[in-house]
């Protein structure tokens, strides 16, 4: 038989990607397609489920064609996805009853505030490891059942089903034969008990969600079913699933407790492997499931930042001071520092460790000498400062010292940002050779399930660093900057 490959599907917030990986974990082919972002009202963000699927299907075809392979050459498919995004569809017809409500969508924020006022914070945190927020799926499912005509009755009659994007893709790939999710995605719904590893009846009752709607929860690495779509002439096992941030943790081979990665995509997501137990955070971080392989569950401590690379998109599309995201590096590099400017990128509120959904972004410290370059630099520094706040919360929670930070995601390509991150953390930042670690993590999970790779030890040999950013050691200057950042955040929070 000719050489076989793993096909990884990375269904992200702004684009769908398909990547063909070879046995060394190297990329043989990639296809990527952006799809429509729908903003029906301020604070609302939706995707069309069919467009999620058609963009994903089209990149599958594209990646296979560009690799010059066919279905017989694919040993397994792995899936990784934007998490929390919620789809409800008809079990019989397969038709969604509403658009996908995206993780960034804030429409259920006031309901979340009411839950907090009722004193439900600890009850929910104990079961799910999560902080009450519109970010997670539970309140989004409830919103659909409450607002789409006839949806609640149909759901109670067992006619509607719910899934995160992984479930939706598996359903489409198997032509409605398989309705499942994996533990990592389940752990982001605010309906799943991360200790008992089961949907939680008390939470289902609280949110009024019928249990019959829910997908069966599987491990992150096993054969869930086989493809039935005409995209492939042969049936291919679908054998690995993980939410994108957990997949990146696995792709970075952060497989030992205490290892940390930060993904700089639309938002930033810092995850620490916490071993076989969830860490109960005292500093507003989330406990979540990193993966389950066989009977072994690994947990993670997570700090989620809503606006990371998205601030660079705003410099491009909102402010117009750059024409492409990549240009921000040259602009920021043209000045030695931000000249006293601080940019708190709270465009959609602040997530970890503040969890304040009402605050908005601010640029402060502008003087006559401030230029676009200072603003660009302050925006990049704002990403790094937010990461620093989460790292500090993590150190307090886990009682560890951060030895190194592994980075990935689109904005991790930016050397100015990465150097500043190392400086402000006073920690070495390491960028791996393969920066597509999210897709790689899902490929590894799928490959392990079908014996394409024998074990984690074998996979670990594939991880290579591309560049290390060593802290400059200018600690006095960094301390002053940290103080300036704290003042800037305090002013945003006070307002
Ligand atoms: N060179 C760069 N410097 C800073 N930010 C960048 C750079 N290149 C891309 N980005 C930002 O990274 C994000 C895209 O990263 P990606 O990992 O593809 O995100 P996602 O998976 O969330 O769609 C965008 O918000 C973009 O503005
Ligand atoms: O699609 P991304 O890379 O922006 O990731 C989104 C996260 O999964 C949201 O929790």
Closest Cα to residue 220, out of 299, 295, 296, 293?
A: 293
**Ligand 2 centroid, distance to 45 Cα (angstroms):** 13
Give the whole-angstrom CA distance, residue 334 versus residue 265: 24
Give the whole-angstrom CA distance, residue 350 versus residue 298: 27
Give the whole-angstrom CA distance, residue 5 versus residue 25: 9
**Ligand 1 centroid, distance to 152 Cα (angstroms):** 38
Residue 72 lies in a domain: yes
Q: What pairs with residue 20 in β-bridges?
A: 7, 29
The number of the ligand nearest the C-alpha atom of 316 reads 1
Question: Is there a binding annotation on residue 104?
Answer: no
Ligand 2, atom nearest to 83 Cα: 8
Question: Is there a binding annotation on residue 15?
Answer: yes
1 has a pLDDT exceeding 80:
no
* Residue of 10, 85, 164, 265 with the most ligand 2 atoms within 8 Å of its CB, for mutation: 265
Same domain assignment for residues 157 and 293: no
Give the whole-angstrom CA distance, residue 346 versus residue 361: 4
Closest Cα to atom 10, ligand 2: which residue? 83
435 has a pLDDT exceeding 80:
yes
Same domain assignment for residues 261 and 229: no
Same domain assignment for residues 278 and 343: yes
Say what the pLDDT of residue 464 is: 86
Question: Is there a binding annotation on residue 83?
Answer: yes
Residue 86 lies in a domain: yes
Residue 281 lies in a domain: yes
Please state, for a pLDDT cut of 90, what percent of the chain lies above it.
Answer: 82
Same domain assignment for residues 361 and 478: yes
42-56, 109-123, 399-413: which range is least confident on average?
Answer: 399-413
Question: Is there a binding annotation on residue 224?
Answer: no
**Ligand 2 centroid, distance to 82 Cα (angstroms):** 4
Ligand 1, atom nearest to 328 Cα: 3
The answer to ipTM > 0.95 is yes
Predicted confidence (pLDDT) per residue in 297-353, tens digit: 999 999 999 999 999 999 999 899 999 999 999 999 999 999 999 999 998 888 889
Give the whole-angstrom CA distance, residue 454 versus residue 446: 11
Rg, Å, the chain Cα set: 22
Q: What is the DSSP letter of 188?
A: T
Query: Residues 50, 75: contact at Cβ < 8 Å?
Result: no
Based on the structure, what is the number of domains in the chain? 2
243 lines ligand 1 (CB under 6 A): no
Ligand 1, atom nearest to 267 Cα: 22
Same domain assignment for residues 89 and 156: yes
Same domain assignment for residues 29 and 90: yes
In 59-206 the beta strands, taken as DSSP E runs, fall at 74-81, 87-90, 100-101, 160-163, 180-182, 192-193, 198-199
Q: At what angle do helices 415-425 and 475-494 cross, to 10 degrees?
A: 100
Give the whole-angstrom CA distance, residue 280 versus residue 415: 34
Compute the mean pLDDT over every residue in the chain, rounded to the nearest whole number. Answer: 94
**Ligand 1 centroid, distance to 356 Cα (angstroms):** 24
Question: Is there a binding annotation on residue 414?
Answer: yes
- Structural domain ending residue among the three candidates 235, 263, 298: 235
Same domain assignment for residues 210 and 307: no
Query: Mapping DSSP to helix (H, G, I), strand (E, B) and coil, where does residue 381 land?
Result: helix
Query: Residues 478, 424: contact at Cβ < 8 Å?
Result: yes
**Ligand 2 centroid, distance to 286 Cα (angstroms):** 15
Closest Cα to atom 24, ligand 1: which residue? 309
The number of the ligand nearest the C-alpha atom of 376 reads 1
Same domain assignment for residues 267 and 382: yes
Predicted confidence (pLDDT) per residue in 47-93, tens digit: 999 999 999 999 999 999 999 998 889 999 999 999 999 999 999 99
Residue 242 lies in a domain: no
326 lines ligand 1 (CB under 6 A): yes
The number of the ligand nearest the C-alpha atom of 313 reads 1
Predicted confidence (pLDDT) per residue in 150-182, tens digit: 999 999 999 999 999 999 999 999 999 999 999
Say what the pLDDT of residue 250 is: 96
Predicted confidence (pLDDT) per residue in 370-398, tens digit: 999 999 999 999 999 999 999 999 988 88
The number of the ligand nearest the C-alpha atom of 379 reads 1
**Average pLDDT in the 390-411 region?**
88
Say what the pLDDT of residue 2 is: 63
In 244-382 the beta strands, taken as DSSP E runs, fall at 260-264, 268-275, 286-293, 296-305, 342-344, 362-364
313 lines ligand 1 (CB under 6 A): yes
Q: Which of 138-152, 390-404, 430-444 has the highest mean pLDDT?
A: 138-152
Domain extent at residue 123: 5-235
Same domain assignment for residues 152 and 34: yes
Residue 343 lies in a domain: yes
Same domain assignment for residues 359 and 473: yes
- Structural domain ending residue among the three candidates 235, 267, 283: 235
Residue 244 lies in a domain: no
Predicted confidence (pLDDT) per residue in 349-361, tens digit: 888 899 887 888 9
**Ligand 1 centroid, distance to 266 Cα (angstroms):** 6
**Ligand 1 centroid, distance to 412 Cα (angstroms):** 8
Residue 286 lies in a domain: yes
End-to-end Cα spacing for the chain = 65
- Structural domain ending residue among the three candidates 174, 209, 235: 235
41-45, 99-103, 366-370: which range is least confident on average?
Answer: 41-45
Same domain assignment for residues 338 and 386: yes
Predicted confidence (pLDDT) per residue in 215-235, tens digit: 999 999 999 999 997 778 789
- 450-481 burial, b for 16+ CB within 10 Å, e for fewer? bebbeeeeebeebbeeeeebebeeeeeebeeb
Question: Is there a binding annotation on residue 244?
Answer: yes
Same domain assignment for residues 479 and 338: yes
- CATH assignment at residue 150: 3.30.420.40
Closest Cα to atom 9, ligand 2: which residue? 83
Closest Cα to residue 113, out of 461, 426, 355, 298?
A: 355
Predicted confidence (pLDDT) per residue in 251-300, tens digit: 999 999 988 999 999 899 999 999 999 988 888 899 999 999 999 999 99
């Amino acid at each position: 038989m000719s050489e076989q490959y793993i096909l990884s599907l990375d269904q992200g917030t702004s684009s769908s990607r398909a990547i063909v990986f070879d046995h060394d974990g190297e990329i043989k082919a990639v296809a990527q397609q952006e799809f429509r972002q729908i903003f029906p009202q301020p604070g609302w963000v939706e995707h069309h489920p069919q467009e999620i699927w058609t963009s994903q299907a089209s990149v599958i075809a594209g990646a296979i064609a560009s690799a010059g392979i066919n279905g017989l050459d694919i040993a397994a498919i792995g899936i990784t996805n934007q998490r929390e995004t919620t789809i409800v569809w008809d079990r019989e017809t397969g038709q969604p009853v509403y658009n996908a409500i995206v993780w960034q969508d804030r429409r259920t924020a006031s309901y979340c505030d009411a839950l907090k006022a009722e004193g439900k914070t600890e009850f929910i945190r104990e079961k799910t490891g999560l902080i009450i927020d519109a970010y997670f799926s539970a309140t989004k499912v409830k919103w659909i059942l409450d607002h789409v005509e006839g949806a609640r009755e149909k759901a109670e009659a067992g006619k509607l089903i719910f899934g995160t994007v992984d479930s939706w893709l598996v359903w489409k790939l198997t032509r409605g034969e398989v309705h499942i999710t994996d533990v990592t995605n389940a752990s982001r719904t605010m309906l799943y008990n991360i200790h008992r590893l089961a949907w939680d009846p008390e939470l289902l009752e609280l949110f009024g969600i019928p249990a019959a709607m829910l997908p069966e929860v599987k491990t992150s690495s096993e054969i869930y079913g086989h493809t039935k779509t005409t995209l492939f002439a042969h049936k291919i096992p679908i054998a690995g699933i993980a939410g994108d941030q957990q997949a990146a943790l696995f792709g970075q081979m952060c497989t030992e407790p205490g290892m940390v990665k930060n993904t700089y995509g639309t938002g930033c997501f810092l995850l620490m492997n916490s071993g076989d137990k969830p860490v109960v955070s005292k500093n507003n971080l989330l406990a979540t499931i990193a993966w389950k392989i066989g009977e072994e569950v690994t947990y993670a401590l997570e700090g989620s930042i809503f606006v990371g690379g998205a601030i660079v998109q705003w410099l491009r599309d909102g402010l117009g001071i750059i024409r492409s995201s990549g240009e921000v590096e040259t602009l920021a590099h043209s000045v030695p520092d931000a000249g006293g400017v601080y940019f708190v990128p709270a465009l959609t509120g602040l997530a970890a460790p503040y969890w304040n959904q009402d605050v908005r972004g601010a640029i402060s410290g502008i003087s006559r000498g401030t230029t676009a370059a200072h603003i660009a630099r302050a925006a990049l520094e704002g990403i790094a400062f937010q990461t620093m706040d989460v790292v500090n919360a993590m150190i307090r929670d886990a009682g560890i010292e951060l030895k190194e930070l592994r980075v990935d995601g689109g904005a991790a390509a930016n050397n100015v940002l990465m150097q500043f991150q190392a400086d402000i953390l006073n920690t070495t930042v390491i960028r791996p050779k393969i920066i597509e670690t999210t897709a790689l993590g899902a490929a590894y999970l799928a490959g392990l399930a079908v014996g394409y790779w024998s074990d984690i030890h074998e996979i670990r040999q594939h991880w290579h660093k591309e560049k290390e950013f060593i802290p400059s050691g200018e600690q006095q200057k960094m301390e002053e900057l940290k103080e300036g950042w704290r003042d800037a955040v305090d002013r945003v929070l006070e307002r």
